[in-house]
Amino acid sequence: MNCAETLLPSLPAALPANACFAIVAPAGAARLDTHKVSQWFADRGYSCRLYPAVNQAQGYLAGSDQQRLQDLHDAFADPAIDAILCMRGGYGSMRLLDRLDFDLIRRNPKPLIGYSDITALHTAIYRHSGLVTFHGGMLNADLLGAKLPPTESSLLAQLAGHVRAGEQIVHPTDYPLSSVLAGVASGPLLGGNLSMLGATMGTLAELDTQGCILFIEDVNEPLYRVDRLLTQLRLAGKLEGVKGVLVGDFAGITTAALAPLLEETFAPLGIPVLAGWRSGHCDPNVCLPLGARVRLDSDRQRLVLEQDLFKA
């Protein structure tokens, strides 16, 4: 599916004031204070439902593959659920890809929220259902971890439909951006964790980058590994046809250190590259709507939404 020629994205309904969130664990295990979780949602006028794998552990996984998969399917299928929030990343989402029911997801479009390992779900679900999903704060480290604004506010504002076509996705002014390569470009915003984008090459979650604005971020990867991952994408032809690049947080690597590699990789393509965006394994962690059409303006250091995120 060519991003530039794809069908209109599958859009869910905006979050109602009394929304019910499904809490799922498609990847790693974690301990949760269920009272604290319930109170967090109640304080914001919401409710939540914790699915079984959230309270399970099977080694480094939150329960069995079958349980984690069933939780995802049940959350999408349940009409009482308005949004699906991942507990954490870690590892495990890839193990579910070949058994995901994309028809079920297409029939029941709902916001799916997460990042890191959840990138595998984002890319697969967009590719096979066209659903716009959200690269945003997860329950364990981000929302219960009380990360700095606008971690929570950017997520809830987008889910509620308060960010409309023609409006900027606001980036915190305390964190300067870097216009690595100048220019303006439009396309669906796709991508996520760079390591996961590499790991899903050759699978049904392989990202089709044609015509897209590519977003990348990562954690615990030294510069030479980032080079290796970008080189992998280049050699696989995944950078040909990319319209622009939004570079999120690369924990442990400054934008200044990353910039020469970005220039070397993307300058031959003649596309804009904007770096330093606070999305990923960072604090704050700004929410991004994956699959939605955006305009990347590296000259003015802006990211503008070009479509509404929810059905009328």
Q: What is the DSSP string of the chain?
A: --GGGPPPPB--PPPPTT-EEEEE-SSB-----HHHHHHHHHHTT-EEEE-GGGG--BTTBSS-HHHHHHHHHHHHH-TT--EEEES--SS-GGGGGGG--HHHHHHS---EEE-GGGHHHHHHHHHHH-B-EEE---IIIIITTTPPTTHHHHHHHHHTT-S-TT-B----TTS--EEEE--EEEEEEEEEEHHHHHHTTTSTT----TT-EEEEEESS--HHHHHHHHHHHHHTT-STT--EEEEEEETT--HHHHHHHHHHHHGGGT--EEE----SSSSS---EEETSEEEEETTTTEEEE-S-SS--
Question: Per the residue annotation, which of 73, 129, 171, 217 is the catalytic one?
Answer: 217
Q: What pLDDT does 9 receive?
A: 60
* pLDDT tens by residue, the chain, 312 residues: 444 444 456 788 899 999 999 999 999 999 999 999 999 999 999 999 999 999 999 999 999 999 999 999 999 999 999 999 999 999 999 999 999 999 999 999 999 999 999 999 999 999 999 999 999 999 999 999 999 999 999 999 999 999 999 999 999 999 999 999 999 999 999 999 999 999 999 999 999 999 999 999 999 999 999 999 999 999 999 999 999 999 999 998 999 999 999 999 999 999 999 999 999 999 999 999 999 999 999 999 999 999 999 987
Q: Is 206 a catalytic residue?
A: no
User: Is the bond preceding 284 in cis, omega lying within 30 degrees of 0?
Assistant: yes
| Catalytic one of 93, 154, 281, 298 | 281
Instruction: Give me the pLDDT at residue 5, please.
Output: 41
From the list 116, 178, 195, 279, the catalytic residue is 116
pTM above 0.75, yes or no: yes
Q: Is 281 an annotated catalytic residue?
A: yes
- For residue 296, the model assigns a pLDDT of 98
Strand ranges of the sheet holding 20-24, from the earlier edge strand across to the other edge:
47-50, 20-24, 83-86, 112-114, 133-135, 288-290
